[in-house]
């Protein structure tokens, strides 16, 4: 008897193809070629969307459902290997260190950018190919096809945009590191670590001294006149830090032996009322100063003078153009500080000026926990027409403490492009790129340590006829006290309050345009001792 059955189509594997669903009585639907391992059930709209979403979250899973077993298994293997690698780094505690090592090395940041791009392209291709394979076996209506296409586009954007931002951050970081940090250290102004590859690069360095300079360089000024000079002396083990603030108008500053400054001024920088500490920079740039052949004569001479004044060797420096200070504050969302005295915005330092002690731009009013934007934070740190150097130097130290306390990694990550832009335009430093990893580690220790400060104001030293032997002795005492202090801190003398710092505020508020009468609101009990910045801020 002859075989009356119709010939049947076969897969590549030789098995007959199904031309209907498994359900009895279901209509016959032609499905075409399918992957040899694809499921034959539920190949409708929800099945396509579901596996597309799952395949986007877990690349390779959707391809397995579509019958592309080898490609799906390969992608799942890659994902699994990546998850295991990250998990291992997280468990042994080295994930943060590995990420840190990546973001501070320019050449590594290029590699990171390329790797991010490659992963993003592979992920996007996985989404598109997975969806295309899944749709081959489903009968979708016009609306369903349009919706599923929109879903795929949304998934592609969801992968591509974060990858783009990550790559952009990496390139911004590379540009920032290359711009701000030096490839080779300037031996006249900075000292590089002997080895930054050790487990603890600071193991052979007990203390490091950094000169922090706030410059008032601008188009209307010739050269640089340092507006703020603070030496941060850091205990590299505990992170405890002492801030030594030097007044701009300090006279007769001595230079260390063997320096060009000592050869020119053996009895100190004493050419008259104009020979102040902040004038050394401009003097050193003049021909015949002895520093004029240096790579950075003004900075080298200023460092030498400060070394002679406080008796500490300056290891490196960081200089901020104060006009860019507002950009940093705005980038991190502002700073919260205690305003102890009513401060004028604007004014003039000349008592004969008609705007002396007059707030030409308004006032910063007294108040606790005031959140200041960049403009007002700058004037909080710089305003001096209605107060004296002690108050001004105290506020500057409070701003530094606020940065240490309030700037966290999350804020830096979220505002990184704005911070990088401000840093490129306004910061210079002598820290070499090769030591950057060690300095990042040291900054973590500083955040975990205790910060004290000792300002050399008129209450401590006569700025016109300073006793530098006394200054050196006070510096040694402050450092010794800091070394004895645990990072958790010890009890400190409470600040001596006055009317302006009372919980109820001042008894009277001066009118705009008048000269406010303020007293030191957080005056240290002993001005000759370093005080906890939290006690005076």
Write down the pLDDT at residue 223: 55
Residue 105 sits in the same domain as residue 250:
no
Write down the pLDDT at residue 146: 92
CA distance 76 to 70: 10
- Domain assignment present for residue 432? The answer is yes
Residue 344 sits in the same domain as residue 216:
yes
Question: What DSSP element (H or E) covers 120?
Answer: helix 106-135
Task: Quickly count: other Cβ atoms within 10 Å of residue 89's Cβ.
Answer: 15
Q: What pTM, to 2 d.p., does this model score?
A: 0.70
Residue 292 sits in the same domain as residue 358:
yes
Write down the pLDDT at residue 94: 59
CA distance 286 to 428: 22
Residue 237 sits in the same domain as residue 153:
no
Residue 71 sits in the same domain as residue 146:
yes
Nearest to 525 by CA among 534, 535, 513, 511: 535
Length of the chain (residues): 537
CATH code assigned at 274: 3.40.630.190
CA distance 456 to 249: 11
Residue 114 sits in the same domain as residue 256:
no
Residue 265 sits in the same domain as residue 303:
yes
Instruction: Tell which of 142, 164, 180 closes a domain.
Output: 180
> What value does the CA radius of gyration of the chain take, rounded to a whole number of Å?
33
Q: Which residue has the tokens 């308004």?
A: 362
Write down the pLDDT at residue 517: 39
CB 308 within 8 A of CB 253: yes
Write down the pLDDT at residue 371: 92
- DSSP notation for 293-324: TSSSHHHHHHHHHHHHHH-----EEEEEEGGG
Angle at 346 between CA 344 and CA 352, to 5 degrees: 95
- Domain assignment present for residue 193? The answer is no
Q: CA separation (Å) from 4 to 7, 85, 133, 210?
A: 9, 61, 36, 96
What's the structural domain count of the chain? 2
- Domain assignment present for residue 8? The answer is no
Question: What DSSP element (H or E) covers 452?
Answer: strand 451-455
How do the pLDDT tens digits run along the chain, 537 residues long?
444 444 444 444 444 444 444 444 444 444 444 444 455 555 788 889 999 999 999 998 988 988 888 988 899 998 888 888 877 777 766 556 666 666 666 677 778 888 889 999 999 999 999 999 998 878 888 899 899 999 999 999 999 999 988 888 888 888 888 888 877 778 888 888 877 677 788 988 899 999 999 886 554 445 567 878 999 999 999 999 999 999 888 999 999 999 999 999 999 998 877 789 989 999 999 988 999 889 999 999 999 999 999 999 999 999 988 777 888 888 888 999 999 888 888 755 554 555 445 556 678 888 899 999 988 998 888 877 655 666 777 788 788 888 878 877 777 777 888 888 888 888 889 988 888 888 888 988 998 899 898 888 888 889 889 999 999 999 999 999 988 776 555 544 433 333 333 333 333 333 333 334 344 444 445 777 777 777 777
Residue 514 sits in the same domain as residue 446:
yes
Residue 221 sits in the same domain as residue 319:
yes
- Domain assignment present for residue 90? The answer is yes
Residue 139 sits in the same domain as residue 273:
no
Residue 144 sits in the same domain as residue 213:
no
- Domain assignment present for residue 489? The answer is yes
Residue 357 sits in the same domain as residue 222:
yes
Expressed as residue numbers, the domain containing 248 is: 207-536
Instruction: Tell which of 132, 163, 180 closes a domain.
Output: 180
- Domain assignment present for residue 14? The answer is no
Q: State both tokens at 71.
A: 């490609």
Q: State both tokens at 268.
A: 């100190």
């Amino acid at each position: 008897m002859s075989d009356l059955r119709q010939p049947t189509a076969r897969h590549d594997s030789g098995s007959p193809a199904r031309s209907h669903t498994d359900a009895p009585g279901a209509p016959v639907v032609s499905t075409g070629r399918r992957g040899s391992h694809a499921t034959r059930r539920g190949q409708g709209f929800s099945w396509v969307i579901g596996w597309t979403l799952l395949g986007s979250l877990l690349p390779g899973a959707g391809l397995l459902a579509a019958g592309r077993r080898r490609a799906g298994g390969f992608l799942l293997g890659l994902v699994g290997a990546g998850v295991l690698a990250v998990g291992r780094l997280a468990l042994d505690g080295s994930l943060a260190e590995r990420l840190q090592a990546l973001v501070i090395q320019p050449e590594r940041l290029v590699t990171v950018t390329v790797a991010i791009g490659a992963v993003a392209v592979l992920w996007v291709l996985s989404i598109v190919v997975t969806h295309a394979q899944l749709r081959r076996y489903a009968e979708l209506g016009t609306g369903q096809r349009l919706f599923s296409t929109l879903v795929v586009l949304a998934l592609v954007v969801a992968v591509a945009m974060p990858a783009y931002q990550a790559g952009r951050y990496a390139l911004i970081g590379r540009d920032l590191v290359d711009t701000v940090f030096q490839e080779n250290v300037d031996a006249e102004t900075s000292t590089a670590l002997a080895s930054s590859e050790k487990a603890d690069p600071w193991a052979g360095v007990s203390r490091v001294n950094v000169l922090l300079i706030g410059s008032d360089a601008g188009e209307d000024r010739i050269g640089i006149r340092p507006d703020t000079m603070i030496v941060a002396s850091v205990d590299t083990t505990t992170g405890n830090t002492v801030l030594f603030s030097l007044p701009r108008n300090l006279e007769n500053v001595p230079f260390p032996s063997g320096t060009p400054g000592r050869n020119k001024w053996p009895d100190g920088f004493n050419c008259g009322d104009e020979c102040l500490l902040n004038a050394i920079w401009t003097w050193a740039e003049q021909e015949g100063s002895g520093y004029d052949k240096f790579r950075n004569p003004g900075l080298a001479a200023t460092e030498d003078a400060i070394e002679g004044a406080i008796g500490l060797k300056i290891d490196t420096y960081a200089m901020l153009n104060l006009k860019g200070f507002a950009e940093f504050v705005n980038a991190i969302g502002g700073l919260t500080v205690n305003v102890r005295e009513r401060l004028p915005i604007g004014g003039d330092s000349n008592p004969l000026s008609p705007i002396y002690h007059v707030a030409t731009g308004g006032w910063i009013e007294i108040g606790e926990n005031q959140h200041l934007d960049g403009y007002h934070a700058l004037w909080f740190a710089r305003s001096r027409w209605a107060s004296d150097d002690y108050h001004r130097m105290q506020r500057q130290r409070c701003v530094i403490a606020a940065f240490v306390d309030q700037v966290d990694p999350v804020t830096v990550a979220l505002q990184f492009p704005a911070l990088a832009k401000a840093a490129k335009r306004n910061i210079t430093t002598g820290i070499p790129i090769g030591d950057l990893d060690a300095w990042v580690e040291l900054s973590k220790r500083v955040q975990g340590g205790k910060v004290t400060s000792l300002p050399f104001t008129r209450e401590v030293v006569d700025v016109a006829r300073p006793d530098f032997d006394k200054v050196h002795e006070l510096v040694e005492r402050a450092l010794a006290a800091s070394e004895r202090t645990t990072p958790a801190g010890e009890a400190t003398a409470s600040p001596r309050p006055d009317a302006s710092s009372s919980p109820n505020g001042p008894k009277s508020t001066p009118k705009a345009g008048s000269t406010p009468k303020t007293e030191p609101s957080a005056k240290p009990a002993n001005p000759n001792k370093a005080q906890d910045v939290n006690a005076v801020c």
